[in-house]
Amino acid sequence: MKIKFGLTFGLNVARLGLDEMQVITAAQIADRTNFDSVWAMDHTNVPQWKNAVVNDAWLMLAAIGSVTNNVELGTCVTDAIRRHPSTIALSTVTLDRITKGRGILGIGAGEAQNVVDFGIEFSKPVSKFKEQLEVIEKLFESDPENHVNYQGNYYSLVEACLQAKPIRKPRPPVYIAAGAPKTLELCATYGDGWIPIGYTPALFEHHANVIKDHAKRLGRDISNFEFANDVDVYFAPDGEAAWEKMKKAVKVSLYKPELLKVHNIQQDSEFDFRRYFTEYAMNKPELMEQMKKASLQIPDDVARTAIGVGSPDDVIEMLERFIKAGTNHFIIRFWGEGLYQNIETFGNKVVPYFADMQK
């Protein structure tokens, strides 16, 4: 399978305070410099950076689709708990149609920071997520000649249908954000791809094998499954100096119980990760400070495996580590200044290296 490369507009771009026109320009550069995909985070806010411009992901992807020709376009990822599954399904189909078959649904169970400030209850997210995936799958199959029904604990369909069919057959691909036992099983059951974030190669390989084991048990052929991976890249003339600048932020992005377990790192007894995940929002900045403190337990040599920092050759080494662990679609988050130049450097100096390998 070809190794694919995507550009994501996530927290890295939010930190820079780039507006919609700058983001669209960056996507155009990616479209003509060997990238395969472009992704937009689906947040309502980013409490860390008040200067960030946080637009609606679906509208941004539609705008990007109108001025690009080659890249696939996906959410990285849509927060399921904030939107009704019918809205998600129709947005996905519409994006696919207006981009001539380039739409992707990236979807996850959600996180507190995008919902609790707006009076949306953040409870039973995984159970609701499972039902969302089931409803979306049914709606993708629906049309005026094929009405569908569904009755769950949280969602229902009564003789429902969409009246727009996607360009891609049988439907746009669904990439699922997963990093815990229940969501990894959902990924194997309903997903065409997997999008983790904040992983080391060791954790990526471990969870990729969990997905493969579930798929085998379910009798699913996942030979064309996309094991995507949201990774950090920081081009810098002095890789060591750049690493010193980045390492605390990298450790925060990596900190999760599953990673600690894989790397045999003792969990901070004073930090409640579940509380952070379910409560962190604008009005509770102290939870982020607790997270930052706890993440310092991750050793430098473990954290360093997760990021490409320095020259293009240093970045290639990081990508090769993840390819060995099973990644086949990289979603790149560029850090540092000069986003446009970073995209061109990666597209012209890193992507061709892997293209040549696959000839």
C-alpha–C-alpha distance, residues 168 and 100, integer Å: 8
pLDDT of residue 117: 83
pLDDT of residue 339: 96
By DSSP bridging, strand 307-310 and strand 226-235 are: parallel
Contact 230, 194 (CB under 8 A): no
Q: What is the pLDDT of residues 244-284, one digit of tens each?
A: 999 999 999 999 999 999 999 988 777 888 787 777 766 67
pLDDT of residue 145: 97
Question: Could you tell me the two tokens for 321?
Answer: 């580590």
pLDDT of residue 348: 96
Residue reference for tokens 């189909």: 93
Q: What is the pLDDT of residues 65-122, one digit of tens each?
A: 999 999 999 999 998 889 999 999 999 999 999 999 999 999 999 888 788 888 888 8
Residues of the chain with pLDDT under 50: none
C-alpha–C-alpha distance, residues 217 and 208, integer Å: 14
pLDDT of residue 150: 98
Q: What are φ and ψ of residue 39, in 5° steps? A: -130, 150
Q: How many other C-beta atoms can be found within 10 angstroms of the C-beta atom of residue 240?
A: 10
Contact 214, 180 (CB under 8 A): no
Return the sign of the alpha-carbon dihedral for residues 291, 49, 104, 251.
negative
Question: Could you tell me the two tokens for 314?
Answer: 């240093």
Vertex 40 angle, CA 119 and 108, to 5°: 55
Q: Is the peptide bond before 181 cis (omega within 30 degrees of 0)?
A: no
Angle between helices 20-31 and 57-66 (to 10 degrees): 50
pLDDT of residue 5: 98
By DSSP bridging, strand 148-151 and strand 156-160 are: antiparallel
Question: Could you tell me the two tokens for 281?
Answer: 């929002």
Paired with 40 in beta bridges are 9, 75
C-alpha–C-alpha distance, residues 28 and 181, integer Å: 37
